Chain A
Amino acid sequence: MTYTTFNQEHFNATKEPMFFGRNVNVSRYDVQKYAVFEKLIEKQLSFFWRPEEVDLSTDRRDFAALPDHERHIFLSNLKYQTLLDSVQGRSPNVALLPIVSLPELETWIETWAFSETIHSRSYTHIIRNIVTEPARIFDDIVTNEAITKRAKDITRYYDALIECVSLYHQLGEGKHTINGEEVNISITDLKRKLYLTIVSVNVLEAIRFYVSFACSFAFAERSTMEGNAKIIKLIARDEALHLTGTQHILQLMADGKDDPEMAIIARELKDEARQIFIDAAEQEKDWADYLFRDGSMIGLNRDILGQYVEYITNQRMSAVGFEPAFTIKQNPLPWMNSWLNSDNVQVAPQEVEVSSYLVGQIDSEVQSEDFSNFSL
């Protein structure tokens, strides 16, 4: 039960469940239980980008020209995004790596979390470019009540899982007394915590992030803060991939072929999991109140953003097999699709980065018949 960085047992990793099986030993990908995780890794690697590639010099001027209430919207949104990626840059590693049992999934988790660190670096890049005192913005993330209130809900599932897993690694299953308090550690309980964590991560990446993207793109729809929108486009492309990752994990869990107990847990926790989606939607609407407290901006206000929250929540709920919670049927922000699509950016040809570009795709097999119609 203690975690080991190199499990010396000889066993077939493809027979292990995704989580809570044996610790991974050899990082090998020649045989795989779920090939989809390697496809996700390859895709993520082909997306590699650096924030410094995006020129933000016009954003500084744009930002200075924004009215106060729009600066509040822009900066608050950016602070929220910074919080989300700070959490996502470390939590999948800390929470999931100690309990994962498949090499391809382990590597996907690491690749996933790494790409979030690029996002965090890009927020610093943006903030450095638009304000003279970045510290004031960063410091506010941990003191601003509207932000910390939401941070609690984003992290509590992660934190509960991490705490119990560390106790499990130290003490094993059973009843234990820690600091005078009795704790009961069981694998079933850990799996329940894991399931809820994955649901809340899906909500974070598939709903919360998209609400923040809507705000970023609303500025760019008016041809202001466009450098920022370019960065957010790259982030949105990564997040679309990550949410596919958690959707796959959730479906594999609910399906039960991977771990029959997980399927029972998924059924038992269905209402609770559904509630995580609904609660997050309500919190996002509260956040919209805070964003637009001093006034709306052209193209986006509290009500439209609230409708978008409901719309996107419905979509994400049905994607993981839950009954949608809201009545809204039509996307209130139809321009979102073209912003979210990362391949239609109009850029100079020399700076185009085709996302599907792969290195080393040259056909190196040349046979003599390839020269058959060649004569001197």
Chain B
Amino acid sequence: MAHIIKILKGFSFIPRNELTLLEALEQEKVDIEYQCREGFCGSCQVSLIDGEVTYTTDPIAFIPEGKILTCCCQPKSDLTIEIPGGCKLKKSCL
């Protein structure tokens, strides 16, 4: 089922089902930090304001309360998230 992802001080969108949250945000051209993309470095954390996620792999990184690791989770319900440093769009790379 499709879920709506709302980025605080940003916009809302509906991601494709098979994507991780990080991939979904990247597809929307949202500027977000990442490094390992497999749950051990903790770079891609965002705050989860509302909603629920399921982890596709168990994260090893330390995740403080109220945060989620976008590289290895998918939305389980409609989500409201906040990106550290605010919601910025990537400048076109072309």
Which A positions have Cβ atoms within 8 angstroms of B?
Answer: 36, 39-40, 43, 236-237, 240-241, 243-244, 247-248, 251, 315, 318-319, 321, 329-331, 334, 337, 340-343, 355-356
Contact = CB atoms under 8 A, between A and B. Distances in A.
Contact of B60 (A36, A251, A319, A330): A36
A240 B85 contact: no
Contacts of B86: 329
A309 to B, nearest CB: 16
A341 B43 CA distance: 11
A173 to B, nearest CB: 32
Interface string B79-93: 000001110101000
Interface stretch (B9-17, B34-42, B48-56): B34-42
Contact of B41 (A240, A318, A331): A240
Nearest to A320: B62
Given A241-B41, A330-B31, A337-B43, 10 more contacts: A40-B40, A236-B35, A241-B60, A247-B61, A315-B33, A318-B84, A330-B85, A337-B33, A343-B36, A356-B38
Given A39-B60, A40-B60, A244-B61, A331 B37 contact: no
A40 B31 CA distance: 28
Nearest to B38: A356
Given A240-B35, A341-B37, A321 B42 contact: no
A321 B85 CA distance: 16
A11 B37 CA distance: 40
A241 B40 CA distance: 6
B36 A341 contact: yes
B85 A43 contact: no
Interface residues of B, number: 22
Contacts of A343: 36-38
Q: Chain A at the B interface: mostly helix, strand, loop or mixed?
A: helix
A357 to B, nearest CB: 12
Interface in B66-81: none
Contacts of A240: 35-36, 40-41, 43
Contacts of A236: 35
Contact of B85 (A241, A244, A248, A329): A329
Given A240-B41, A241-B40, A244-B41, A331 B33 contact: yes
B42 A43 contact: no
Contacts of A329: 85-86
B53 to A, nearest CB: 19
A247 B62 CA distance: 7
A204 B58 CA distance: 27
A71 to B, nearest CB: 29
Contact of A319 (B35, B40, B62, B85): B62
A78 B62 CA distance: 30
A355 B35 CA distance: 14
Interface string B9-34: 00000000000000000000001011
Contacts of B90: 334
Contacts of A43: 40, 60
A240 B34 CA distance: 11
Given A43-B60, A319-B62, A337-B34, A244 B88 contact: no
